Amino acid sequence: MNEQNRELQRVASSWYRGFDAIYRKELAAWFGTHRWINQSIIWMALTLTPALMVPTANQDRGGAILTLFLWSGSNMMSIGTIILTQGKIVEEKLTQTLLWIFSKPLSPAGFILGKFAAHAVFIGAIVIGAPSIVVYLVAMFVGLPTNISLFNYGGGVVMVYLVLLCVLALTILLGVLFDKVAAVTALALTIFFSGAGLPSTQLRSIEPYTVWALQHNAYETMNGNFPSTGWWAMASAVGSIGLLLTMAITWMQRSEL
């Protein structure tokens, strides 16, 4: 019995306490209802639309379909990630749900990481996972060039997924900082698209080493030309995700206190 009590105390005092409860709650909100079916239909439609726009006479139609998915599709998926998550924390603050949530044995880290993990699973499965498979099957049906392999295409999809995770972490941080959904959406979109238009030559020189390079890197990787700065860009994305989540947790801890 004493051993069980010590174990319970250890879990209750853990810095990530409550993670599992938040993670399951958010997953149930998506997969416990018909929402995931509706979202699947939406993202499948958005994914197949560019494929239908590629001219039939295009000899490299399969490659063009995959290029559209990784290039234009990544922008759509990033905007969709912002829209799907823009109010997840703000609405709980406005309805004072957070006050009730934090009356339970829950840490800020468990809250933030639980939400991030659950939405990362949903985005990975519904927003990019299933559509990426369907698009590849369509591209195979119409014909793929020899330089595009499943392995290289998968590497490109992983890069785009890292972009989406970075956008997700940014949106969660903005939700912690601001109390209006419009502010979260506007700032998230501004920061995301600002990377494509860096104002100076000096800033553009570091762009290949940042998360903003992954969209172009995904296209190159798919074609079998993994860029020399690709690992740096991927590491930058992972580091940015960690930094954004750490900032969100730290700010929430201060707010809670």
pLDDT tens for residues 211-224? 989 988 999 999 99
Q: How far apart are CA 133 and CA 157, in angstroms?
A: 10
Residue range 201-216: mean pLDDT, rounded: 79
High-pLDDT (> 90) share of the chain, %: 44
Q: Which pLDDT belongs to residue 101?
A: 65
**Does residue 82 register a pLDDT over 80?**
yes
Q: How far apart are CA 255 and CA 234, in angstroms?
A: 32
Q: Which pLDDT belongs to residue 257?
A: 42
Q: How far apart are CA 61 and CA 22, in angstroms?
A: 44
**Does residue 94 register a pLDDT over 80?**
no
**Does residue 144 register a pLDDT over 60?**
yes
Mean pLDDT of the chain: 84
Between residues 256 and 165, which one has the greater pLDDT? 165
Binned at pLDDT 50, 70 and 90, residue 10 comes out as very low
Residue range 77-92: mean pLDDT, rounded: 89
Residue range 73-86: mean pLDDT, rounded: 90
Q: How far apart are CA 168 and CA 119, in angstroms?
A: 8
**Does residue 71 register a pLDDT over 70?**
yes
Q: Which pLDDT belongs to residue 5?
A: 43
Q: Which two tokens stand for residue 204?
A: 């553009």
Query: Tokens 């119409």 label which residue?
Result: 142
Yes or no: say if 238 and 230 are a contact pair by the CB < 8 Å rule: no
55: left (phi over 0), alpha (psi -120 to 50) or beta: beta
Query: Tokens 């801890």 label which residue?
Result: 253
Q: Which pLDDT belongs to residue 59?
A: 60
Q: Which pLDDT belongs to residue 98?
A: 67
| pLDDT, tens digit, 9 for 90 and up, residues 13-65 | 577 788 888 899 899 988 988 888 888 998 888 877 776 677 766 668 888 88
